[in-house]
């Protein structure tokens, strides 16, 4: 299994973004090239917010920033069921909660097998930064990820368009990458982190992802 986990971690940023997008129902409709173009704009939006934040609070750590912005930070049990796992949530106006059940399960697994990506010290800041992006997303209605709508069909002057939630998720991960200065895009981390809690399900999902990536 370690091999599969490393393969996922070592995928290029573009591959990770692509795999995130592929699950979207409109992926086939728009096509890979066009969808990637929109997704990169989403990622750029996340990076831009991270750069603004670093300029506003130079050299501040993630937790110093949360304090400055008066954001409540909690570790509490959230949903952790096989068909739905919440790693962390952002609750308006200013509350970020990381799922304590996942921290416990992954922490135990890490102590036993020393697989670094399950070390809570490795990933808690990433999922926290991800949620911090959603805080800014809430504050700034004019962000690209808030305003972009994918046109689906036209009837005369009427254009039917839909919001693409996946763009916010790509932006939130790009934000985390930029703010935490990670050497990789943490796009599929959510799929990896469920492994210690539901290994069978995670194994299937990860193999499926690698198949699609090849």
Residues that bind Zn ion in the complex, under the rule CB under 5 A: 169, 172
DSSP string, 68-133: HTT-EEEEE---EETTEE-SEEEETTTEEEEEHHHHHHHHHHHHHH--GGG-HHHHHHHHHHHHHH
> Residue with structure tokens 């991960």?
173
- Name every residue whose Cβ is closer than 8 Å to that of residue 27 and which is 6 or more positions away in sequence: 21, 35
Smaller CB separation from Zn ion, 120 or 187: 187
Compute CA 82 distance to the chain's CA centroid, rounded to the nearest angstrom.
Answer: 19
Q: Are 116 and 126 in contact (CB under 8 A)?
A: no
Smaller CB separation from Zn ion, 99 or 115: 99
**Rounded-to-integer distance, Cα 36 and Cα 42, Å:** 10
Smaller CB separation from Zn ion, 105 or 168: 168
Name the 3-class secondary structure at 155: strand
Smaller CB separation from Zn ion, 111 or 140: 140
**Rounded-to-integer distance, Cα 87 and Cα 107, Å:** 14
**Rounded-to-integer distance, Cα 33 and Cα 95, Å:** 36
């Amino acid at each position: 299994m370690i091999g599969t986990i490393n393969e996922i971690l070592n995928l290029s940023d573009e591959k990770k973004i692509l795999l995130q997008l592929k699950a979207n129902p409109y992926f086939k409709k728009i096509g890979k090239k066009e969808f990637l173009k929109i997704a990169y704009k989403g990622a750029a939006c996340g990076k831009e917010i991270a750069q603004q934040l670093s300029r506003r609070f130079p050299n501040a750590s993630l937790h110093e920033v949360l304090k400055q912005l008066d954001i409540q930070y909690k570790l509490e049990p959230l949903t952790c069921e096989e068909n739905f796992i919440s790693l962390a949530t952002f609750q308006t106006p200013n509350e970020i909660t990381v799922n304590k059940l996942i921290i416990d399960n992954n922490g135990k697994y890490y102590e036993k097998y020393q697989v670094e990506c399950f070390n809570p010290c490795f990933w808690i800041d990433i999922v926290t930064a991800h949620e911090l992006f959603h805080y800014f997303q809430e504050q700034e209605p004019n962000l690209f990820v808030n305003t972009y709508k994918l046109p689906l069909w036209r009837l005369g002057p009427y254009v039917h368009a839909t919001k693409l939630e996946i763009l916010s998720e790509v932006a939130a991960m790009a934000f985390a990458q930029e703010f935490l200065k990670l050497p990789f895009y943490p796009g599929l981390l959510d799929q990896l982190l469920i492994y210690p809690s539901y290994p069978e399900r995670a194994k299937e999902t990860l193999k499926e992802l690698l198949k699609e990536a090849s």
